[in-house]
Structure 1
Amino acid sequence: MANLPWITIIGLGEDGPEGLPPASRDALAAAEIIMGPARHLALIGPTNAQQVEWPVPFADGIDVLRGHGGRPVAVLVSGDPFWYGAGRAMSKAFGRDAWRAIPVPSVFSLVSSRMGWPIEDTLCIGLHARPFEQLRAKLAPGRRIIATLRDGPAVSGVAHFLRDTGFGGSTLTVCEAVGGPREVVTQVSVAEALKGGFSHPVTVAVELHGTGEVIPLASGRPDALFQTDGVMTKRPVRALTLSALAPRAGEHLWDIGGGSGSIAVEWALADRTCTATVVETRADRVALIRANVESFGLTDQVTVLEGMAPGAMADAPPANAVFIGGGLSPEMLQFVTALPKGTRVVANAVTLEAEAHLAQAQGSFGGDLMRIEIAHAQPLGPKRGWTSAYPVVQWSVTL
């Protein structure tokens, strides 16, 4: 192990040691300690090294591993450690010079080969530690999904989710212990999957069919998708607001005066690396925002805070963009315009007083000041006429 990192992350398949490359076998032979889940330790069988079962929850094992610092340790994980695997957490916990990783084919590769699905055209997602709602914005007829699951009963959970979202006509191929001698591949309908009876480790390949609502890829999703008490940025204005905010991969949004949280939700839907912090003063609306975040499966991207900005945001990650949808005041504008150069700020106003604040801010800091007037056709006696919504004044600027 001279000149090698003290941690070797070894990807292990259901075929056990026989499927390991020589480098992994050498690392196992040289290890003083082998850590891994009980199932992985059982796959490799007895060894000369001390075997330590990785605890649950997973995060607790990081400190156990750290306690063995400096000794050669082999950590057993599933397949490819860096494709919805343990590699993400371990690489964050330890410096780059402390570890190396040796993968074997991921379960996604194995299942796509069983199905004959080009993996580049297939949505691969890890649901073993995430809610099924993460699929919601990705459901569309004809789409193919491969998802890892927590355990056998989770297959029934996926089936319930597909049925409840209008995709009960989908076909599921349940792959148990794929790649090993216990492999079982079973094609079932959603109705059959509801009955359960599957065993861990399990992955499902789903070909989507149904008449459920497909969430558009473009911003300005239908208002009906959101829970609201009536206070929310409506669809056309939301589309213009997201266009002005211009989300980019890896960026963080502050949504001040969240209302229903629709702006933060659509920001997060733009890309899985986009994150947001929402601040709302009213407890009932905080509950609505959290419900909307959960319904789209975005709890790992959107943080919801109850309180008054800017004080409530003291520990929030730095913002690349800021949206002010409520609580607009000269003090709030003074706060956001003092943010670092390059921060994008978008504020919407519907009252004359708030409009005046934005006009003054635009005069001082530049940017675009836009008045949005929208009217919808409505019955007018036996005919139709235009019913106007309150005009919205929007100020957008890059500091």
Structure 2
Amino acid sequence: MITVVGIGPGNLALLTQQARQAIACAGVLVGGRRHLKLFEAFEGETHLLTADIAALVAWLEGVQQQDIVLLASGDPMLFGIGKRLCDHFGRENIDVIPGVSAMQYLCAKAGVDMNDIWLTSSHGREVDYENLLRHNKVALVTDRNNGPAQIARHLVAWGAGQRTMIIGENLSLENERIRRLPASVVTGDFDMNVVVILNE
């Protein structure tokens, strides 16, 4: 059985009891280097997850009868690997344990309700700014190529430099930093982050 476990934004205090139990009972623990480092005490077999998802799926096909736990950042079904694995193996063959998403965490810390928020991602994809600007409240998962500075530059170009950007870096970790700035002044490099954009 393949179990996909959402481990939250990074602080193990945010792990659910169900997630802890699944990890403790795993025969094989799969995750990125950063994820596996969080569970160095794990005594079973580990398998490093890389950006080559096709290779991961092929490997999982050969070992899916074992007790596999795949660690996913945040929540696996929110711009995570959960959908890809459910689509490939069938929902009945994948057990998904939800986790706290970085978007949830940032909104909670910043006091932004999520009732009318548009959730999207710039991770590995181009941002649809025309669609984004139709929404007054947006949360984005980012990546190195489409981070806060690049997003801010596009907002300014679209005449939306007055929109507020809440940038959450290293969420839940000791070096967490949350900043609230107008898009027009956002520049520079940022650590691992999620962004909320508000038309206030």
Fold match by TM threshold 0.5: yes
Match of 2:6 among 3, 6, 11: 11
Q: CA-to-partner distance for each residue in 1:185-236, whole Å, 9 max, x for gaps?
A: 1123324322x22112x10111237xxxxxxxxxxxxxxxxxxxxxxxxxxx
C-alpha displacement of 1:174: 0.8
Matched, 1:190 2:183: yes
C-alpha displacement of 1:110: 1.3
> What residue in structure 2 maps to residue 105 of structure 1?
100
C-alpha displacement of 1:66: 2.0
> What residue in structure 1 maps to residue 78 of structure 2?
83
The CA RMSD over aligned residues, in Å, is: 2.0
> What residue in structure 2 maps to residue 28 of structure 1?
23
> What is the distance in 1 between the residues matched to 2:16 and 2:3?
13
> What is the distance in 1 between the residues matched to 2:70 and 2:11?
14
> What is the distance in 1 between the residues matched to 2:183 and 2:191?
17
> What residue in structure 1 maps to residue 47 of structure 2?
52
> What residue in structure 1 maps to residue 170 of structure 2?
177
Matched, 1:205 2:200: no
> What is the distance in 2 between the residues matched to 1:84 and 1:147?
10
- 1:322-333 alignment, distance < 5 Å: none
> What residue in structure 2 maps to residue 149 of structure 1?
142
> What is the distance in 2 between the residues matched to 1:78 and 1:100?
16
C-alpha displacement of 1:96: 2.8
> What residue in structure 2 maps to residue 274 of structure 1?
none
Q: CA-to-partner distance for each residue in 1:161-192, whole Å, 9 max, x for gaps?
A: 11111112222111012233332111233243
> What residue in structure 2 maps to residue 138 of structure 1?
132
Label 1:152 to 1:115 Cα distance change in 2 as closer, same or farther (>3 A).
farther
Is the Cα–Cα contact under 8 Å of residues 152 and 197 in structure 1 kept in the other structure?
no
> What is the distance in 1 between the residues matched to 2:186 and 2:37?
29
Label 1:153 to 1:89 Cα distance change in 2 as closer, same or farther (>3 A).
closer
Flag as ranges the 4+ runs of structure 1 deviating above 6 A. Answer: none
Is the Cα–Cα contact under 8 Å of residues 3 and 68 in structure 2 kept in the other structure?
yes
**Larger CA Rg, structure 1 vs 2:** 1
> What is the distance in 2 between the residues matched to 1:30 and 1:151?
34
> What residue in structure 2 maps to residue 114 of structure 1?
109
Q: Which runs of 5+ in 2 are unaligned?
A: none
Is the Cα–Cα contact under 8 Å of residues 9 and 100 in structure 2 kept in the other structure?
no
One-letter code of the match for 1:198?
F
Which structure has more RCO (C-alpha within 8 Å, separation ≥ 6)? 2
Is the Cα–Cα contact under 8 Å of residues 10 and 73 in structure 2 kept in the other structure?
no
- 1:343-382 alignment, distance < 5 Å: none
Is the Cα–Cα contact under 8 Å of residues 14 and 181 in structure 1 kept in the other structure?
no
C-alpha displacement of 1:152: 7.9
Label 1:12 to 1:152 Cα distance change in 2 as closer, same or farther (>3 A).
farther
Label 1:173 to 1:94 Cα distance change in 2 as closer, same or farther (>3 A).
same
Is the Cα–Cα contact under 8 Å of residues 172 and 187 in structure 1 kept in the other structure?
yes
> What is the distance in 2 between the residues matched to 1:163 and 1:59?
37
One-letter code of the match for 1:208?
N
Label 1:208 to 1:60 Cα distance change in 2 as closer, same or farther (>3 A).
farther
Please say which of residues 146-155 and 164-173 is displaced more in the overlay: 146-155
SS of aligned partner of 1:185 = strand
TM-score, structure 1 length as denominator? 0.47
> What is the distance in 2 between the residues matched to 1:58 and 1:149?
19
Q: Percent identity?
A: 22
